[in-house]
Structure 1
C-alpha cells in the first residue's frame, strides 16, 4: 500500500488571505462581476433561492456526534475532502519555523552560578553564544571547556550583570542610571570579573560622567587598586580621583597660605568669619588623613602672625592707614586673624612658638596700657586663647616660656575681663576660669604665689569684673603650706626616730 507524506497542518497567520476551508464553512463563490473571463457563461444550475441571511465570516456550526443530519452528511463529506490550495503558504509561517530552528541551535549553552561557600545560586540559559564569545573572553573559555558551574562572591550582583548581557547599549545605560553610581561600581567589578567588554565600557562611561559622593570615590579607589583596566575612559576617571603626589603636596601648602593671607587682608567682617571657618575646617580634616604635615609651611604661617602683630602695633601707635574703618574694628580684625591662625597652628602641632612670640611682645604690652579698655580689651582675646590652650594641655611649652607669657599678659587679662564679658563673642567664661587656673598651676610655686597674690588683690576690689580663680587658689595654698608642713613634720619625725 502506497504511503503518502503527512500534510503539515496549516497555521493561520496574520494576513489578508482567506481562511482555510473548514467543515462548517464553504469557500465563497466568486461573483461574476469580479471574474477575469471576458465572456462568462451562466451557471447551468443556478440557485433559485439564495440564503437571504448568510452566516457571519467566522461563524461555525458545531455538530454533536450522534445527531448528524443525513441531509448534511453528504455535504460534510464533500467539505472534508482535500482541496488543492493554489495560494502559497504565508511567509510568517516559514519565518516562525526558521526562528525555532535558530533558537534550538542557541539554547544549548547552560550553566549555573553558585555562591562561594553557600547554597544559593541560579541557573542561566543564554540564547546567543556568538555574542558571548565575541564580547567576553571569560565566557569563551567556559564554552570551549564546556564548564557548567561557576562560583562567585555575590550571587545577586552577578545575576544582574548576566541579565544585562543581551541588552542594547541604550537599555544598558538606562538600567545603570536607575541603580546609581554606587551599584554601578559594583556592577563594573562584576563585568570585569566576567570580562564582558561592552558592559565594562558602558559602566565606565556612566561613572565618568556622573557626580560622586566621597564614599563612592573611595569605593572607586579601592576597585582600581584591585583591577587593572586599559580602557581610555579610565584615564578620565583617574584624573578625577587624584593627581601627582608631589604636585598635590606643594599645591596644598601654597594654596593654603595664599587663602590664609587673603582672609587676613579681608575688610568684610561677615565674609572673613565664614572663610575663616571654611579654611580652618578643611585644614583640620586634612590633618586627620595626613600625618606628616608637609603641606603647611610653618615659616609662612608665622610670617602672617608677625604681619598681624605689626599691624596691631601700627594701629595703637596711631599710624596713618588707608583703612577707613573705626580703630576698634581694625583692631578686632587683626585679633581675629591672630586667634584664627593660632588655632590652625594648634591643630597642626606647630603652636609652641606662638606662645613664645606672644609672650615677648613687650612693646604691645606698653601700648595696651595707654588705651582705654574699650579698645585694648581685644588684645586680651589672644591671651585668653593662649591660656586656654595651656590649661588644656594642648601645648608642650618650656617652663620659662609659660612664665614669660604670664608675666606679660596675666595682669592685662585681669583688667580687661569685664569688657570681655560684655562682648564675649562665644567665649565660655567658666571654662576660661578653670583652664586659666590650671595653666597658672603649671608654673614654679614661687611664680604661682606672686600671680595668685596679684589675682587676690584684683578680685577683692573688682569682684565679678575679675576671673574667679578660687579653686586654683585653694590647690596652690594646700600645695604650698598644708602639704609642705605635713611633709616637713614627717621628715623631722623620721630624723628624731
Structure 2
C-alpha cells in the first residue's frame, strides 16, 4: 500500500498564502451615510468565504464610539465621532444635508493613527457650538459661510475651526441662518422661507443674523418684518433688538418708522383734535364709541399712553365756549318753536332740539374731562356768569330748558364730592345763578335722567350747599323749603343737609355760646 510523504515547509506556507484572499480596498467615507473605514473593512472581511485569521490591535487603538446626528428633518444616520471628521476622505453631499446637528462629544478619544496615503488633505469643517443649548452645528462649506458672516470671517482666519455662540438662541433659527448663507442670493426665496416660519421665527433669525453680522440675512428679515403685523410682545422684542445693535441703524430706518415717529407730536395736542372732532360729529352712536375711546386714552391706568398726558387746558376751554355759544343760538331758535306752556315732549319734532341735546351732552363730557384732571374750576365761574342762557331759561318750555340743569347737575355732584376747589364767592355765585332753575327742573331730570344718577345729584346739592357760610345756607335752605312744600318729589330732597345746617346753626352754636358765657 503506497505511503504519503510529508510536504516541505516551503510548500505548506505557499498553499496557506494561496488560500488567503487579499484584503478589500478601503471604502470612501461620505458625510451622508458613510461608515468608518475600519468598520467597512471588518464588514467586508465577514462576507469572505474563507475566514481570515484575527489580527491583534495595537494597545493604543480603541474602537471609535458611534453617535447619532440629525442630518435633516426625518433623516438619521450613524457616522463616526466628530473628532475623526477631518481624517475622512472628501465627498459631495446635498446642500440641505450640509448643516448637521449633534450633541457635543463627552471626552476626546486617543489620537487616531495617521491617515492613509490616499487621502490628500483633511476636509474643511466649521463647528458652530451653541453654548446655552449644548449642541453643535457642523458646516462643510466653510468658505461660503466665511464670506457671508463677518464674525466667522474674523474668528476663523484659517480654513476651519469652531465658533461658540452664547445666549438663548433657538436651534431652528440658527439652522435657518446657516442655510440662508448656503443658498443663492434670491430675495424672493428668502421671503418665502421667512413667511413659512412666521413672525416669531423671523425675529429669531434676525437675532442670529445680527449676532453673526450676516448682512444679507439681516436685510431680508427687516424687509419681511416691515411688511407684516406684529403683536405687542413681538414688538417689544424687536425694539430690544434694534436698541442693542446700533451699527445697523441705517438698515433699521423703515422698521423704526413703524415704532417711533420721525417728527414726534405731543399726544396732548392730538387728544384736543380728537375731542374737537367728536363735538363736531353727527352720528350719535359713533360719537358715543369715540368718547369711550378718548376716555380710555385719558384714564390714569391707560395702556395707550405712557407719558405726556397733560392736556392743553386753554384748548379744551375754547371748545367748551364754542359749545356754549352754539347752545345760545339754538335756545334762541327753540324759544320761537316751543312755547313756554308746551309740556309734551312727544309733540316736539326734530331740528334744534336734537342739536341742544347733542351740545349739552358734549359740554358735560368736556366738563367731566376737566374735573377728572382737576381743571374744572374755571368752568364753574364761566357757567355762573352765563347770563344769556340763564335769562332764556324762563322763556323756553321745561322739556327744553331742563337740559341746562343737566349741566348744572354735573357741577353740583363734583362740588359735593370735593372734586372742584372753588372759592366761597364763586360757589355762592353758582348757587345764585342755577339753584332755583334746578329746583324747577328736577322733576324732568328724574323722568328723563339719560344716565344721570338722581340720588347722587340730591346728595351732591346738599353737600355743596353745606360748604357755604351759615347765612348763605339759611337763605338757600329757606328757598328750598318753600319749593319742596309746593312740589314734593318734583323737587330734590335736601332734608338730611337741612338737619345738618340746623344743628350747626342753633344746637351746637347755642351750646358753644352758653359755655363761653
The number of residues matched between the two structures is 397
Query: How far off its partner does 1:358 sit?
Result: 0.7
Larger radius of gyration: 1
Partner SS for 2:138:
strand
Q: Please, which of 177, 197, 200 is the counterpart of residue 195 of structure 2?
A: 177
Matches within 5 A, 1:62-461: 98-99=91-92, 108-115=125-132, 121-144=134-157, 149-152=164-167, 154=168, 157-168=169-180, 173-174=191-192, 176-177=194-195, 180-181=198-199, 184-230=202-248, 233-245=251-263, 248-249=265-266, 253=269, 256-284=271-299, 285=302, 288-291=305-308, 293=310, 296-318=311-333, 325-461=350-486
**1:288 shift after superposition:** 5.0
- C-alpha spacing 1:105/1:174, structure 2 compared with 1 (3 Å): farther
Conserved? CA contact 1:106–1:129, under 8 Å: no
Q: Deviations over 1:360-398 (max 9, x none)?
A: 112321211222211100111111112222233333322
Which residue is 1:473 aligned to? 498
Aligned CA distance change for structure 1 residues 287 and 480 (closer, same or farther; 3 Å)? farther
| Structure 1 residues 484 and 203: alpha-carbon distance in aligned structure 2, compared to 1, 3 A threshold | farther
1:37-87 per-position Cα deviation (integer Å, ceiling 9, x unaligned): xxxxxxxxxxxxxxxxxxxxxxxxxxx99xxxxxxxxxxxxxxxxxxxxxx
Alpha-carbon offset, residue 218 of structure 1 = 4.4
As a proportion of its length, which structure holds more helix? Answer: 1
Shift of 1:100: 7.0
SS at match of 1:125: strand
SS in 1 for 2:179: coil
Q: How far apart, CA to CA, are the structure 2 residues paired with 1:430 and 1:410?
A: 17
Q: 1:125 to 1:249 in 2, by over 3 A?
A: same
Moved more, 381-390 or 278-287: 278-287
Cα distance in 2, alignment partners of residues 487 and 138 from structure 1: 89
- The C-alpha deviation readout for 1:441-473, integer Å capped at 9, x for no partner, is 333333233333333333343333223334433
- CA 1:123 to 1:393, structure 2 compared with 1: closer, same or farther past 3 Å? farther
Q: Alpha carbons of 1:266 and 1:100: their partners in 2 closer, same or farther (altered >3 Å)?
A: closer
CA contact (8 A) 2:266 2:308 kept: no
Taking the aligned partners of 2:429 and 2:407, their CA distance within structure 1 comes to 15
Per-residue deviation, 1:292? 5.6
Question: For structure 2, which runs of at least 5 residues remain unmatched after alignment?
Answer: 1-13, 29-48, 51-88, 99-120, 181-186, 338-348
What secondary structure is seen at the aligned counterpart in 1 of 2:92? Answer: helix
Quote the RMSD (CA, aligned, Å).
Answer: 4.0
Contact 1:136 1:194 in 2 (8 A): yes
